[in-house]
Chain A
Amino acid sequence: MLIAATIAILVVMIMAIIRAIMGPTFYDRILAVNMFGTKTVLLISLLGFVMGRPEFLDIAIVYALINFISVIGVLHYSDSSVFKRGSQQKK
């Protein structure tokens, strides 16, 4: 059952990457990347149990914090006027 859950999470990560590549707006990409990060936390802890090494949980904790900081940082950048000019030039 652990391996089945790992495969399910890998499938969901592939779906999130597809959405991040073809996302029509900037926010879709950020949403998909955030989802990818939380799924990575789950994948690391599941892999630790599959391989019989629960020390992987420390890496999962650190990854959760890094994911949060990166999403908040990119969103803070999205409020700036430089980003708005760039997105208008793309259209």
Chain B
Amino acid sequence: MDSLLNISSALFLLIGSFLCISGGVGILRFPDFYTRMHAAGVTDTLATAMILIGLMLQNPDGLVILKLMMILLMTLIISPTASHALASAAVHNNLMPELDKKEDNEKVTSSNP
């Protein structure tokens, strides 16, 4: 039973670390603000949940699991709220996505032969 808990905890931590690293590569490599926000959103919710669940399986103390649940709940509520506020502020201040501009240019050039 104990080794099962250890193996599942290691698996959760491994998946969380992989998601974190992929989100970090995404925030460096993606071309646009909104796509970068997608990469950051992956690390904010799923990777955090995976790593915290892996830590919950790591020790059987009740109070520690309660604190980890509190951190998980707060992260799951707070980080989408911050992402929403950030995206709405960016749209409000006329920050356009990069791909939209290209499509608009194509439309403009195709409609004006």
Interface residues of A (CB under 8 A from B): 1-2, 4-5, 8-9, 11-12, 15-16, 18-19, 25, 27-28, 30-32, 34-35, 38-39, 41-42, 45-46, 49, 54, 57-58, 60-61, 64-65, 67-68, 71-72, 75, 78-79, 84
CA distance A49 to B12 in the complex (A): 15
Determine the main DSSP class of B at the interface with A: helix
Find the B residue at minimum CB distance from A1. B10
CB distance from A51 to the nearest CB of B (A): 13
* Interfacial chain A residues near B71, Cβ < 8 Å: 41, 45, 57, 60-61, 64
Question: Is B74 positioned at the interface, with any CB of A under 8 Å from its CB?
Answer: yes
Find the A residue at minimum CB distance from B11. A1
Contact A4 B13, CB 8 Å, known A27-B89, A34-B82, A35-B43: yes
* Interfacial chain B residues near A4, Cβ < 8 Å: 13-14, 17
Contact A75 B55, CB 8 Å, known A1-B9, A5-B13: no
Number of A-B contacts (CB under 8 A): 131
* Interfacial chain B residues near A58, Cβ < 8 Å: 67
Contact B27 A54 (CB under 8 A): no
Interface residues of B (CB under 8 A from A): 9-10, 13-14, 16-18, 20-21, 23-25, 27-28, 33, 36-37, 40, 43-44, 48, 51-52, 54-55, 58-59, 61, 64, 67-68, 70-71, 74-75, 78-79, 81-83, 85-86, 89-90, 92-93, 95
* Interfacial chain A residues near B52, Cβ < 8 Å: 42, 45
Contact A12 B86 (CB under 8 A): no
Contact A27 B68 (CB under 8 A): no
Contact B40 A34 (CB under 8 A): yes
